[in-house]
């Protein structure tokens, strides 16, 4: 006779992906709020960039409209804005420049001489992000990330956490528990080495943290190209900061970002469960990796944790339905696919009280005991 048992997970069968929404409860503004602050700044201190901003924003919405995506379904955020500015700032160095007949006349008007407004606007946004939005003075507000530490202990295997965030919320929470940083790929001399993030019985730690877009404490030596990190994030020059915005062309050849995304692809293919917290599914490259992982295993599950709104509010149900349809489209899933579990909950209560082996295992078919 067989009986149902709880779902069990082996090593690397559970991985976590963290997005910007996970850090909102710690006091770090969501990408949409950063855009709102930029729009407030261009009305006053950054007024010289107002016309440029309006042009770039409109162009992003226009481009999505051509592909059949219209507001409010356009994924417009701080990263798409900075990526667009970064692409424009390359001008003649851009690979497609020889194929472009001429710049849009309006762009020439708003970009300034030699596109100087484009480069300055991008620099101002990056500095604002690093110094005012991402850096928080009291990381006690991020203590709820210790829920990842507790979950790892319950799992009883090293937990691999991928994050799209630049902040130090996971690091600070882990340090509060173990008085050391999680494995991020830096040796004793603080030089980055991919080997430390690969399987090794000699260097195994409780939590491996893959910072897909970089970190506010990372810097790259301009002379040697060596990636390291600093205890004083404010002393890192903007040009030396190791941050990328979105998984664009840079991932084709730049480490550590190329390696980190490769690890997400490799481990997501093998995992049975992907726990995705605070990610809005607005990155096409990341979505492609997740969709590929689902195609590779029909028994795989994705638990997507996002705050949609107060469940008691009349409009929340419609928001949940629209967001699920959006995510299903991004992941190339059929309507109501059981492999996608969506939870309308903030990151803090989820990590503090709802994340457990029992809760995540309940979304899998019951296992049978052969004895």
Q: What is the pLDDT of residue 102?
A: 83
Could you read off the pLDDT of 34-78 as tens digits, one per residue? 999 999 999 999 999 999 999 999 999 999 999 888 887 788 888
Report how far residue 44's alpha carbon sits from residue 5's, in angstroms, rounded to the nearest whole number: 61
The whole-angstrom separation of Cα 174 and Cα 189 is: 21
Q: What's phi and psi for 282, nearest 5 deg?
A: -105, 0
| pLDDT at 3 > cutoff 50 | no
Amino acid 201: pLDDT: 54
Q: Which residues make Cβ contacts (< 8 Å) with residue 98, sequence separation at least 6?
A: none
pLDDT > 90? residue 275:
yes
What local confidence, expressed as pLDDT, does residue 92 receive? Answer: 85
pLDDT score, position 235: 87
What digits encode the pLDDT tens for the residues 104-140? 899 999 999 889 999 999 999 999 999 899 988 899 9
Provide the Cα torsion 288, 292, 293, 295; round to 10°: 140
Residues constituting the chain: 371
End-to-end CA distance of the chain: 8
Reported in sequence order, the residue ranges of 194-334 that DSSP labels E, i.e. its strands, are: 207-211, 214-220, 227-229, 241-243, 273-277, 301-306
Give pLDDT, residue 7: 83
Q: Which of 99-103, 155-159, 202-206 has the largest mean confidence? A: 155-159
The residue ranges of every structural domain in the chain are 4-28+138-364, 32-134
Residues 344 and 350 sit within 8 Å (Cβ to Cβ): no
CATH number, span 4-28+138-364: 3.40.50.1220
- Residue 264, classified by CB atoms within 10 Å of its CB into exposed (0-12), middle (13-18) or buried (19+), is buried
Global pTM?
Answer: 0.90
Q: What angle do CA 94, 98, 99 make, to 5 degrees?
A: 105
Main-chain phi, psi angles of 211, to 5 degrees: -95, 95
β-bridge partners, 160: 15, 208
Calpha distance 84→223 (Å, rounded)? 28
Strand locations in 192-287, DSSP E? 207-211, 214-220, 227-229, 241-243, 273-277
pLDDT at 180: 94
pLDDT at position 4 is 44
Residue 370 has pLDDT above 80, yes or no: no
Q: Residue 93: what pLDDT?
A: 83
Q: Is 37 helix (H, G, I), strand (E, B) or coil?
A: helix
264, 208 Cβ separation under 8 angstroms = no
10 Å CB burial of residue 209 (0-12, 13-18, 19+) is buried
pLDDT band of 1, cuts 50, 70, 90: very low
Q: Token match 């996971």: residue?
A: 170
List, in sequence order, every residue forming a beta bridge with 317; answer none if it has no partner. none
Q: DSSP strand E in the chain: where?
A: 4-5, 14-18, 159-163, 207-211, 214-220, 227-229, 241-243, 273-277, 301-306, 340-344, 367-368
- Angle (CA) 215-207-284 rounded to 5° is 50
């Amino acid at each position: 006779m067989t009986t149902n048992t709880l779902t069990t997970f082996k090593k690397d069968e559970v991985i976590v992906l963290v997005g910007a929404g996970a850090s909102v409860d710690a006091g770090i503004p969501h990408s949409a709020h950063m855009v709102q602050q930029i729009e407030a700044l261009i009305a006053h201190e950054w007024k010289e960039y107002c016309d440029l901003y309006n042009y770039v924003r409109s162009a992003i919405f226009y481009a999505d409209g051509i592909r059949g995506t219209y507001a409010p379904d356009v994924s417009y955020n701080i990263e798409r804005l900075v990526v667009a500015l970064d692409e424009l700032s390359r001008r003649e160095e851009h690979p497609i420049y020889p194929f472009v007949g001429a710049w849009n006349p309006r762009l020439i008007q708003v970009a300034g001489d030699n596109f100087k407004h484009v480069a300055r606007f991008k620099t101002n946004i990056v500095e604002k992000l690093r110094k005012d939005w991402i850096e928080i003075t009291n990381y006690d507000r991020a203590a709820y990330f210790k829920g990842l530490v507790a979950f790892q202990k319950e799992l009883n295997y090293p937990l691999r956490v991928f994050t799209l965030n630049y902040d130090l919320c996971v690091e600070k929470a882990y340090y509060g528990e173990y008085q050391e940083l999680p494995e991020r790929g830096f040796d004793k001399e603080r030089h980055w080495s991919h080997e430390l993030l690969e399987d090794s019985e000699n260097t195994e730690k409780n939590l491996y943290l893959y910072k897909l877009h970089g970190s506010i404490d990372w810097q790259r030596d301009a002379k040697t190209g060596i990636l390291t990190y600093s205890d004083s994030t404010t002393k890192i020059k903007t040009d030396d900061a190791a941050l990328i915005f979105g998984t664009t062309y840079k991932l084709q050849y730049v480490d550590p970002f190329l390696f980190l995304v490769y690890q997400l692809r490799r481990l997501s293919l093998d995992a049975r469960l992907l726990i995705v917290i605070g990610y809005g599914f607005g990155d096409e490259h990341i979505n492609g990796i997740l969709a590929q992982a689902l195609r590779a295993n029909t028994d795989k599950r994705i638990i997507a944790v996002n705050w949609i709104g107060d469940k008691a509010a009349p409009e929340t149900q419609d928001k949940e339905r629209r967001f699920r349809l959006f995510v299903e489209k991004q992941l190339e899933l059929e309507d109501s696919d059981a492999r996608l579990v969506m939870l309308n909950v903030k990151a803090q209560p989820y990590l503090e009280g709802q994340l457990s082996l029992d809760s995540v295992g309940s979304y899998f078919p019951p296992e049978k005991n052969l004895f």
